[in-house]
Amino acid sequence: MTSPIATILIVDDEAQNRKLLEALLQAEGYLTLSAADGEDALASIAQLAPDLILLDIMMPGMNGYEVASTLKANPATAHIPIIMLTALIDRSARLAGLKSGAEEFLTKPFDRAELSLRVRNLLRLKEYGDFLKNYSVILEQQVQARTVDLQRFRTAMDATADAIMLVSRSNMRFIEFNATACKMLGYARDELFLVNPVTISVGPREYLEGIYDALIAGHGTNQLTETQVRRVDGSLIEVEVHRLAQRFGSEWIIVSVLRDISERKQAQLRLQHLSHYDALTGLPNRRLFYETLKHTLAQAADGGWPVAVLYIDLDQFKNVNETQGHAIGDELLGQFSNRLVQCVGVRDGVGRLGGDEFALILARQGQQGAALVANKIREALSVPFDLNGHAVDVTASIGITVHPDDASDADSLIKFADTAMYRAKQAGRNTFSFFTAQMNVDVLARLELEEALHKACDNDEFVLYYQPKVQLSSGRVVGLEALLRWRRPGHGLVAPYEFIPVLEETGLIVRVGSWVIATASKQIGLWLGSSIGPLQIAVNVAARQLLDGDLEGDVIKALADNHIAGHLLELELTESSLMANTERTIAKLQNLKQHGVQISIDDFGTGYSSLAYLRRFPIDKLKIDIAFIRDITTNPDDAAITLAIIGMAHSLKMQVIAEGVETAAQLAYLREHSCDQIQGYYFSPPLALAELEQILLEQKCLPAADDGQEAGAD
């Protein structure tokens, strides 16, 4: 502390005292000022504040106490030390002096050494006080400046669009963050302090700790990572994070700067969408459609399944565009694409190839599936479009190609489908056409057949024919096989091979099969009460009746409805239908057997069933397939198989019937080898009810073995 020369004000009403003090102090090197009374002193101090005041107590006017109080009450002068000069040495005078603010006392007459000491001490004290005062002002200024800095920094932090968060690695808690962080995450400031970085992160705690520790170890600093953070409501936002680790003493702080990139992500998605999707309809564009087709074809090649490609072109689009304007044209395309999407399954691909051209990919679909979808599209177009309040009829021409029949690569398939589409246009529009001509014919015929069969079910177009089964020992008719016929309007009587496979594929056979069981049972019931009497009827049962239908229910109901015994009904099943779903089939057949129903295996010998296998089923009868009977007298193999079947059946206590017996020689052979029954043209073809009843009433018989007479020749 280098101190300038101190100025001391001497206040005393006695001139002599003033002079003495001046002399003493000047001798010590101080500057002196003097005042003769209190008022003078205050005026002088107001002009120039001294470093110390020597103040007499007893003065006319303002006394020393009053002057001291005044000075100490004023902040500008309160720090100036005061030594009171007094002749009074009593305690009350000192106390009054201290109360008024004086720092020291000096008793008259003055002792020079004491004066010098007191003055020096007080001046030092003042100097120190002044220093402290200045210092705290400086400190205060510094703090103020820092606070402003900090405030400015915080404002800047809060104003940044990025969320900034400081995390303590040791306790994994937030120690600071800016307003953007609160806003981004949806928390109030106090709330965010209560959750931790794991709460807002999508990964588990260990994952986050791993990242932090890597940063602390010096890895991954200055890296931008894309991730997501969880908002208070649980929703996720896409962010880009920049992190760094900062050491504070023994503590590691992780500073994370997060930028919300949701908009950028959306823009990226939009861009990708734009490059792959058609802006007008939102459908995949030509490029994406090709990619999808290629992908589907690769899968189809692996899986060995078909893929159909449909090329669709609106028929009157040009007209609409030219007469009603492009805006209406666009509207039509939009509406059309909506209907198109409704016509396909979720696995199928739809695309707009350009203009009014659309295309479909039907995975795992061949000609039939493609034709069905093409028809669906035509049906979807049968309702007029509402364009600007006008109802407009629009049709489409559709070309179809199928992988692998027509081609196996995307380019060829699309090109061929396009060609087929032109063919459809040439054929008069509003239709579809296959790339392969024969497919056209086949598929159209098949579709027509399916449609007609649906109608046949609804319109009761089916009838049963009956073919007699004859017991060889007696020559008498012991049963009948009910055989389905279709009286198709405009086609006459249609034989089963033309329509049964379609009934089976479409599942209609379940419905028709129930009808056959009901109709045959009804006939048994009717005959029971007539002169024909009890006669067994066999009905053919398709595999799907066992799998999808309620065969037991159908049979039990038919028996009950017509009050007939179970043994009058026989079910003919093929080996292949027994193979499907064995356990359930055995259970069903056993249940039916409980009701007395007879079970026979039709077309036996063609299905390679083993004996052991057949034993598991409750079978009453084997029907030797017509294929073995045909050449039984000329082909030793067929004869051997027939004999084996007869032997095997008998050893299993089953009956044997030969079907397709056409000649006396076949009959003779079968009779000779103990076949139980025969069925075939030799005795009678399948007959309509009236004709059948005729021969039943006539009691037509097979001639006895040694008669050598022709069948029916009574």
What is the contact surface with Mg ion in residues (CB under 5 A)?
Answer: 540, 572, 602-603, 659
CA torsion 17→20→24→27, rounded to 10°? 140
Output the smallest distance, CB 288 to ligand C2E, in A. Answer: 47
Beta carbons of 391 and 385 less than 8 angstroms apart: yes
x/- site string to ligand C2E, residues 456 to 495, per CB under 6 A?
-----------x---------------xx----------x
Choose among Mg ion, ligand C2E, none what residue 680 binds, the Cβ cut-off being 5 to 8 Å by kind: ligand C2E
Which 569-628 positions form the footprint of ligand C2E (CB under 6 A)?
572, 602-603, 626
Q: Any contact of residue 659 with ligand C2E (CB under 6 A)?
A: yes
Beta carbons of 349 and 361 less than 8 angstroms apart: yes
Stretch that binds ligand C2E, among 66-74, 233-241, 548-556, 657-665 (CB under 6 A): 657-665
Which 534-573 positions form the footprint of ligand C2E (CB under 6 A)?
539-540, 542, 572
Output the smallest distance, CB 477 to ligand C2E, in A. Answer: 14
Pairing of strands 31-35, 655-659: unpaired
Six-digit token string for 674: 């103990």
Choose among Mg ion, ligand C2E, none what residue 646 binds, the Cβ cut-off being 5 to 8 Å by kind: none
Q: Report d(CA 57, CA 644) in Å as an integer.
A: 155
**Closer of 565 and 626 to ligand C2E (Cβ):** 626
Q: What are phi and psi of 245, to 5 degrees?
A: -105, 135
Output the smallest distance, CB 568 to ligand C2E, in A. Answer: 17
**Closer of 126 and 544 to ligand C2E (Cβ):** 544
Beta carbons of 229 and 200 less than 8 angstroms apart: yes
- Site size toward ligand C2E (CB under 6 A) is 24
Q: Any contact of residue 681 with ligand C2E (CB under 6 A)?
A: yes
Output the smallest distance, CB 501 to Mg ion, in A. Answer: 15
Q: Report d(CA 240, CA 257) in Å as an integer.
A: 8
Stretch that binds ligand C2E, among 302-310, 409-417, 558-566, 658-666 (CB under 6 A): 658-666
> H or E element: which one contains 416?
helix 410-426
Q: Return the ∠ at Cα 536 (arms to 530 and 538), rounded to 5°.
A: 130
Output the smallest distance, CB 442 to ligand C2E, in A. Answer: 21
DSSP 548: T
- Give every CB contact of residue 416 below 8 A, 6+ residues apart in sequence: 399, 401, 406, 407, 435
CA atoms within 13 A on the CB side of 356: 24
Q: Any contact of residue 514 with ligand C2E (CB under 6 A)?
A: no
Q: Could you tell me how far CA 439 lies from the centroid of its own chain?
A: 39
Output the smallest distance, CB 659 to Mg ion, in A. Answer: 5
Provide the b/e sequence for 671-683 (b: ≥16 CB within 10 Å): beeebbbbbbebb
**Closer of 64 and 513 to ligand C2E (Cβ):** 513
Choose among Mg ion, ligand C2E, none what residue 467 binds, the Cβ cut-off being 5 to 8 Å by kind: ligand C2E
Which 624-653 positions form the footprint of ligand C2E (CB under 6 A)?
626
**Closer of 321 and 666 to ligand C2E (Cβ):** 666
Output the smallest distance, CB 536 to ligand C2E, in A. Answer: 15
> H or E element: which one contains 159?
helix 112-159
Six-digit token string for 322: 């030219």
Beta carbons of 669 and 632 less than 8 angstroms apart: yes
Residues forming contacts to ligand C2E in the complex (CB under 6 A) are: 467, 483-484, 495-497, 500, 509, 513, 516, 539-540, 542, 572, 602-603, 626, 659-662, 680-681, 686
